[in-house]
Structure 1
Amino acid sequence: MGAVIVIATVLALLTPWLLRQPEPEVSSSLPPVPDVEIHTEVPDFTNYQDVKKKKAAFFEFLLPAVHAENLRILHQRERLLNLYQRWQQGETLSNDDQQWLQKMAEVYELSDETINDDLFTLLRRRIDIIPEMLVLVQAANESGWGTSRFATEGLNFFGQWCYKKGCGLIPSSRDDDGRHEVAKFDSVNASIRSYMRNINSHPAYLELRLIREEQRLDGEPVTAVKLIEGLHSYSEKGQHYIDILDDMIRVNRPIVKEINAAP
């Protein structure tokens, strides 16, 4: 497996509350987003007796789609920063560029699509990667290492909810007056994309996005260990959930590192 995304130049963000000036550096060295297998079925991970082999198989199953989705986001980010540089220089953006910005505002759930500095600031905060270790350990935790009913039947690896009748699977623990269902997806890839969009747009995860923004401003790599501190709202377990993810990252990072290093 071993495909490793090379994250290009550190892309700084404007943070008004820190009174810092943005210093975007636009790179043209990003590789194209690869075509990856679309998974519409989940392997039977219960067949593995060896725990390490089970974990490795789980990570290998998800990693190509995670890498591809992060690279797709980086391409969006690169275009955004390029447009922002031109905007700052007083250039009039083409209709195509304006339509793309408005589409990104819609995708990342911004209510105001007016093209101005505020829009660029918010999009730059939202259009950014989710570290692979964070994606992988949340998928493992939320799906029972790919064995939960929601993962095997709904291809939902992140416990994402939906509220339209018939949109997903009804949890057995749902209260009688509950309306939510656990969303069903057409593919595991779609589940990953929806999860990343949720993290990058939902108000509940603003803290995570601000932590990531601060890492960019400080010239640091975007890391899972720091970003998990912004996930208190993901689970009713609160800080205990954060502690669980932290332990999972520490224990499983060597396995993922070994997979990424494989020829």
Structure 2
Amino acid sequence: MRIATIILFIILCVAALLTPWFIPKEPPKKEDASVVAHLPPIPDVEIKTTMPEFSAMTDVSEKKEAFFRFLLPMVEAENIRILHERAYLKDVYGRFQEGRLTADDKQKIDEWIEYYRLEEDIAIDDNLFGLLKRRMDIIPEMMVLVQAANESGWGTSRFSRMGLNLFGQWCYVKGCGLVPTGRSEDGRHEVAKFDSVNESVKSYMRNINTHGAYLDLRLLREQKRLDNEDITANDLIVGLESYSERGVEYIEELRAMIRINRPIVKEVRQELNAETSSEAAPQ
């Protein structure tokens, strides 16, 4: 009896060891590449944890070109990332309409709800997908670039140099940032500090895509999508009136900056594209 028990135990152990070889393994789940096949891949942009010495540049044209060259790849990368997310949102919505959401889909929806600052208990329905679609969209490059230049003094302000904050974004937890000069005694806000300029860009774009103050901008952008029109800085910039206490004056200043600096950005983009093509060419 004892020998039979030992033999049975050995057989079970051997079976346990061999089982994985005979049970077919499911391939690891990954996002369907066909969903984003029409989009460029998300660029692998260097993480910038310091700011260039823009204040040392005395030539205005040189400073502008250097500023746009520094910032443009981060803006482009974040917009492409958003377009990838938007494509997957469309894919997930298709499965929702067919009544076949997967566990991965539901997890992704939860992540979107949190990132785009919607109510935690919001129902998964057409309204939710409509809200996500409105918020999950690009910010025109020229708008991001001129706001960064305006808010940071072309990368020379204390907040940009010490906090890597190019957009003057606020935070409200003590020690979360830099205390602005002239803050009232009962003021609680600080100017946020970031670990990288890349984070500053991402946070700014998330703010524009979620804060109630910029709902009009998002509605304008949504209408452009419905009309199959280009999404441009000149069209959307009117939705930034709440960004500054100067209101309309601030908008007009940004419009002038776009008009003056667009040729410089175009030239910088061409140079960056040429460099990328050269690096990708076979040696």
Q: TM-score range by the shorter chain?
A: 0.7 to 0.9
Aligned position for 2:4: none
Check the 8 A contact 1:134/1:249 in 2, yes or no. yes
TM-score by length of 1: 0.88
Check the 8 A contact 1:125/1:213 in 2, yes or no. yes
Gaps of 5+ in 1: 1-25
Bigger CA radius of gyration: 2
Counterpart of 2:175 (choices 145, 153, 166) is 166
By how many angstroms is 1:115 displaced? 1.1
Root mean square deviation, CA, Å: 1.1
Counterpart of 1:253 (choices 246, 262, 281) is 262
Q: Percent identity?
A: 62
In the TM superposition, what are the counterparts of 1:3-14 in structure 2 within 5 Å?
none
Q: More helix per residue: 1 or 2?
A: 2
By how many angstroms is 1:91 displaced? 3.3
By how many angstroms is 1:177 displaced? 0.9
Check the 8 A contact 2:36/2:84 in 1, yes or no. no
Query: Does residue 1:203 correspond to 2:190, yes or no?
Result: no
Ranges of 4+ aligned residues in structure 1 off by more than 6 Å: none
Gaps of 5+ in 2: 1-34, 275-283
In the TM superposition, what are the counterparts of 1:1-263 in structure 2 within 5 Å?
28-88=37-97, 90-111=98-119, 112-262=121-271, 263=274
CA distance in 1, matches of 2:141, 2:113: 24
CA distance in 1, matches of 2:188, 2:36: 45
By how many angstroms is 1:48 displaced? 1.6
Partner SS state of residue 182, structure 1: strand
Check the 8 A contact 1:102/1:113 in 2, yes or no. no
Amino acid at match of 1:204: A
Amino acid at match of 2:123: T
CA distance in 1, matches of 2:106, 2:89: 11
Partner SS state of residue 81, structure 2: helix
Structure ranking higher on relative contact order (CA contacts 8 Å, 6+ apart) = 1
Check the 8 A contact 1:142/1:157 in 2, yes or no. yes
By how many angstroms is 1:27 displaced? 5.4
By how many angstroms is 1:49 displaced? 1.9
Amino acid at match of 1:145: W
